[in-house]
Copies of this chain bind each other. A is one copy, B any other.
Amino acid sequence: MAHQAESAKEDETARPADGGDLSRRPWRPYFEASLGFRNHWYPAFFSRQLAEGECRGQVMLGERILFKRIDGRVYAIEDRCAHRGVPFSVRPECYTKNTISCWYHGFTYDLRTGALVAIITDPESTLIGKVKLRSYPVEEHKNLVFAFIGDEAPHPLILDLQPGFLDEDLAISPNGEQELVKSNWRLAAENGVDASHIYIHRNSALINVARRPLPLASYFTTREGMVIDKEGAPKGVIKGAGRKTSIWETEIEGVKIESQYRPGINTDSSSATDTSLWLPCGLKVNPFPRADTMQFEWYVPNDEQSHHYIVTWGKRVQDEHQAEQFFREMDVVWKDLVVHKFNNEDVIAREAMEHFYADEDGWNQEHLYRPDMVIAEWRRLASKHNRGIQRKPGTKAGV
């Protein structure tokens, strides 16, 4: 395209000038991570989605995983029998509490270790005690189940979470939403932290109900404060508060175009909203949708063309009673408004980008602009601080 050259200067603005490197080389690992990053924690589903003794199969980062809740605790192993590769979750069969038996030949695994502990159709098999399925470290907090996907010993969960998420006084709604969205996870993550995408929400019913100022977030115009990469803490980027706002007021062919709602004018709050994106794929929007709540999102890779979109809300409370009331209000008043009347616009945007990035070399053809500096920084941060690139199962090695 003829406009490649002209946009270089803008790209210069979008990317920090801390080395003069205008190539996209620092983003390469990110560009390769179509299935996400390895050796990180990811949310799998809400606690309510797995009752005691039940099993649940879910694909994450291209890996088929089986979850089972045993005595309240959730365990996870590969959701494919070592024998002939069928998924247990097609017909989950458990003879005992700690095991699952493959419905096909009775290969029986301990959910706690992945170890093959019995084969019903060949009780004396020498494979017993020797074969092991990959098992996944699992933790459950704040009504969400998390799995660690990788080969390393699990890193502390708190390093892979949005800061504050595990805070004791933070009540997290157990009734968030989980949905499969047809776009690569990176397009979703970038849309989440996108400093100016708020434009698509300008007619959202939520805006009218909440009377939150538009833009919901202002953004940084320099790199300062945008990147959070302290040693021993979550790594993320923040699109900036209290700096340049993305309020719009411009002219097109003499027609004045401007934001409908503005801080302090026709809204009931002028508080700025902070939106930040954290490795491996978690978003935090604070405050949102109410002045006293925050929203958490995750974009967990399913396969290269789709991701699990998980959304929930948090509020600082003093006791159980306040928490319950908060949950109820989210369910009754806010959930539909946020999920279906607001976030739905984001889902449309993510899916509308997919063709360009998947089939038209979008990663090299795109033209980032000034508000995308946070996306540029996210790519750099993710490229630098990820713990490994996830590869497609079965492509790693031969016999």
Contact = CB atoms under 8 A, between A and B. Distances in A.
B355 A85 contact: yes
A127 B253 contact: no
- Which size class do A's interface residues fall under? 35 or more
A126 B13 contact: yes
Interface stretch (A153-161, A265-273, A305-313, A367-375): A367-375
Given A103-B200, A131-B6, A199-B121, A353 B85 contact: yes
Contacts of A196: 105-106, 121-122
Interface stretch (A94-102, A330-338, A382-390): A94-102
Contacts of A101: 252
A290 B104 CA distance: 24
Pick from A101, A106, A369 the residue with the most CB of B within 10 Å: A369
Q: How often does this chain occur in the complex, in copies?
A: 3
Contacts of A131: 3, 6-7, 10, 367
Interface string A347-385: 011001101110111101111111100000000000000
Contacts of A200: 103-105
Contacts of A120: 199, 248, 250, 252, 257
Given A95-B257, A96-B255, A364-B398, 13 more contacts: A2-B134, A7-B131, A23-B399, A24-B399, A83-B367, A85-B353, A86-B352, A86-B356, A104-B352, A105-B371, A121-B371, A360-B393, A362-B394
Interface of A: 1-4, 6-7, 9-10, 13, 23-24, 80, 82-87, 90-91, 95-99, 101, 103-106, 108, 117-123, 125-127, 130-134, 194, 196-200, 246, 248-255, 257, 348-349, 352-353, 355-357, 359-362, 364-371, 393-395, 398-399
